[in-house]
Each structure stands twice: as C-alpha cells, then as structure tokens.
C-alpha cells in the first residue's frame, strides 16, 4: 500500500504508544471500580475503553489517509481523518447516554462505596498519566497538523478534568457518607462527556462539508500578499479544501491578455511554488485564468512597460479574505 505522508511513521508511533498506555490505564480504572463499586469510577473506566476504540480507529485513519491518490479517489484519502473524529464523537455521546442511565439507576437503588481512599489514589495517578498523554498528542498533532491527533489529545485532557472531578466527589463522599453524591457526580460527568462528543461530532461534520477554514484562508492570503508580483493583476473567487495532508486551492487569476500560453503556465507554476514554500502541507492549485480587458481597468494594473495601457495606474487592490473570496472581478 503506497503512502505519500512523510510524517506517517511519527503519527503511527505516537498512536501506538498511546494505545498501549490507554490499555494499561483502562485496566487500572476497572480495578478501581471493582474495589470501590463507584458508579462514577465505572463511568471513567468506560470512557477509557472509548479512548482505546477511538485511538484504534485513529491509527487506521492516519495510515489510510496517507495513501496516494488513485483512480477512485482523485483527491486522495485524507477526509477519513474527519470521519475518525466523527466516530470518536459518536462513541463519546453514546457513552454519556449509558452513564446517565446507570446513574439514574443508582439514584433509585443507592449502594455504599468501598475502599474510597484507594479509589482516590488510583484516580489521581491515572489522571496524571492522562494529562501527559494528552499533552504529548496535542503537541505532535500541532507539529504534524493532524486534526485526529489533536482531537485525541483534547479527549485525554478532558479525561484529566474528569479525574479531578472524581477525586473531589470521592473526598466529599468519604467526609459525608451521603449515598447520592456518587450518582450525582456520574450525571455531571455524563453531561460533560456528551458535550465533548457533540463538539467533536460537529467539527467532523463541518470538515466533511468543507466549512470555510478561515485561519488557513488567512494564511493563504498572507502568502499571496507576501509573494505578490506585478503580473498578478487580480485574484478573486478564492476557495480552499483540506484533504488530509493536502490543501486544495481554487481561484481566478487575472493576467495580461497578451501573455502567451507558456508564460501563463509559468506564472501559475510560480504562484503554486510560492504557496508550497509557505505551507508545510502540500498545496494543490487549480487556477482559472482571466485576461485583462475593459472589465479590468488599467487603473489597478501595475504591470510595467505595457504597450497596451489605456489609463494610468492609480492603486493596487487590497488583497484580504473578503476581497479574494468574492466571486467578482475587482476594480476601483
């Protein structure tokens, strides 16, 4: 299976390490539940099981997304990473619903907890491990620009917050011995977990539907302004999509009408090279070229020594997100 992601090995190794640690943490959490009979600790253990399931799918999605383009997938396989995030969000939502169900059962039939001191120690230890795992994943995800690694890291940091809440709840139970504290804490954790699942699912849907990524578009606009040359009279109808490790950009580029085809090709290649130099991801550029004419007055054209100029150059159009994304030819 051919792949084109130079960072694939780093991503895969990161997920493998996390999978191994996640299995160990899950086993420890189930031991804590067995010792304490705490429904809140069971909720935490089940969330760790979800971590393992999502990390496994993340591992597959990272490998699959790095496959080279083929006849059936001309834009590559990168969008599976967004599907992985949606899968993770759906599992988290389902876990939250199950935890709510168990918590309400314990409200109706409360049971005393056991070995609370030991439960506090185990929860604190696993929470610390999850914080470091989450930080590791988010760091690698930002370095490699991988949404799935960052999402997994966010999930582990949410687990850390869960552990802190669990510790507070167990301490309160230890001090008061009130039976409703444990199921109440489980309900609060379930709501917290479901909110996390909703956010991940929404982000996945937004990415799959190609919702505008204005931060990346801003970076594209900055690159265009930095590398702007006088032959690029105007750019409009700028759009972008992300496919895993590839940024796909569409735009309309206005060039002098008298440029020969080889010169037009050269300008487009130059534009694509400049963009690729400014992004760690591969940039794929599709350009619709427009010739300058009466719709593009000479007043915004800065081309020097133009034998066909009819009006004096006045000023350059300001290239910003609003201007470049508008599907309209610009003029003063």
Q: What pLDDT, on the 0 to 100 scale, is given for residue 161?
A: 78
Of 102, 91, 90, residue with least CA distance to 189? 102
DSSP state of 133: H
Kindly tell me if the per-residue pLDDT of 101 is higher than 90.
no
Q: Where does the pLDDT of residue 237 fall: very low under 50, low under 70, confident under 90, or very high at 90 and above? A: very high
Separation of CA 328 from chain center: 31
**Residue with token string 């620009």:** 145
Q: How far apart are CA 130 and CA 22, in angstroms?
A: 8
Task: Give the whole-number percent of the chain exceeding pLDDT 70.
Answer: 95
Instruction: Please give the Cα distance from 213 to 226 (Å, whole number).
Output: 20
Mean pLDDT calculated for residue range 106-116: 77
Question: Which domains, from first to last, does the chain contain?
Answer: 8-208 (1.20.1510.10), 214-325 (3.30.70.1350)
242 forms beta bridges with 247
**Contact yes or no for 26/49 (Cβ under 8 A):** yes
**Pairing, β 246-255 against β 282-291:** parallel
**Among candidate residues 50, 66, 48, 74, the one with its CA nearest the CA of residue 11:** 66
Q: What is the pLDDT of residues 247-286, one digit of tens each?
A: 889 999 999 988 999 999 999 999 999 999 988 778 889 9
Residue-wise pLDDT tens digits, 151-190: 778 778 877 877 887 788 788 888 888 878 877 877 887 8
CA gap 238, 241 in Å, rounded: 11
Q: Which of 177-202 are b and which e, b meaning 16 or more Cβ less than 10 Å from the residue's Cβ?
A: eebebbbbbbbbbbebbbebbeebbe
Q: How high does pLDDT run on average in the chain?
A: 82
Beta bridge pairs of residue 235: 253
3: tokens are 């792949």
Q: Which residues contact 230 (CB under 8 A, 6 or more apart)?
A: 302, 303, 304
What does the alpha-carbon distance between residue 244 and residue 62 come to, in Å, rounded to a whole number?
Answer: 9
For residue 234, the cross-strand partners are 254
Question: What is the phi/psi pair of residue 249, to 5°?
Answer: -120, 130
**Mean pLDDT to the nearest integer, 2-16:** 66
The per-residue pLDDT for 249 is 92
Tokens 């002098």: give the residue: 256
pLDDT digits (tens, 9 = 90+) for 305-331: 888 888 888 888 889 999 899 888 877
Question: pLDDT at residue 14 above 60?
Answer: yes
What does 57-125 look like in DSSP terms, one character per residue? HHHHHHHHHTBPP-SS-TT-STTHHHHHHHHHHHHHHHHHHHHHHHHHHHHHS------HHHHHHHHHH
The span from the CA of 317 to the CA of 229, in Å, is 13
Across 215-224, average pLDDT: 92
Residue 2: predicted pLDDT: 42
Sign of CA dihedral 130, 131, 134, 135: negative
Starting at the earlier edge strand, list the strands of the sheet with 246-255.
234-243, 246-255, 282-291
């Amino acid at each position: 299976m051919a792949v084109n992601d130079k960072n694939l090995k780093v991503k895969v190794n990161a997920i493998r390490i996390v999978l191994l640690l996640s299995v160990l943490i899950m086993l420890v959490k189930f031991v804590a539940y067995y010792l304490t009979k705490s429904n809140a600790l069971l909720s935490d253990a089940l969330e760790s099981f979800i971590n393992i399931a999502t990390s496994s799918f993340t591992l597959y999605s990272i490998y699959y997304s790095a496959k080279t383009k083929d006849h059936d997938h001309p834009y590559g396989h990168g969008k599976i990473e967004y599907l992985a995030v949606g899968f993770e969000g759906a599992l988290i939502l389902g876990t939250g619903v199950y935890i709510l169900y168990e918590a309400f059962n314990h409200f109706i039939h409360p049971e005393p907890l056991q070995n609370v001191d030991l439960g506090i120690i185990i929860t604190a230890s696993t929470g610390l491990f999850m914080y470091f795992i989450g930080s590791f994943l988010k760091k690698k995800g930002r370095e490699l620009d991988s949404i799935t690694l960052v999402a997994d890291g966010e999930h582990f940091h949410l687990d850390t917050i869960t552990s802190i809440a669990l510790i507070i709840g167990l301490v309160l139970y230890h001090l008061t011995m009130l039976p409703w504290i444990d199921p109440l804490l489980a309900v609060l954790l379930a709501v917290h977990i479901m909110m996390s699942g909703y956010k991940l699912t929404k982000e996945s849907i937004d990415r799959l539907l190609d919702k505008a990524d204005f931060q990346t578009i801003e970076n594209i606009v900055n690159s265009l302004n930095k590398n702007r040359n006088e032959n690029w009279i105007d750019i409009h109808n700028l759009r972008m999509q992300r496919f895993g490790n590839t940024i796909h950009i569409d735009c309309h580029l206005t060039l002098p009408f008298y440029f020969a085809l080889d010169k037009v090709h050269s300008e487009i290649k130059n534009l694509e090279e400049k963009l690729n130099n400014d992004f760690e991801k591969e940039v794929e550029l599709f350009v619709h070229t427009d010739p300058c004419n009466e719709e593009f007055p000479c007043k915004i054209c800065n081309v020097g020594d133009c034998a066909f100029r009819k009006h004096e150059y006045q000023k350059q159009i300001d290239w910003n997100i609003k201007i470049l994304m508008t599907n309209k030819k610009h003029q003063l």
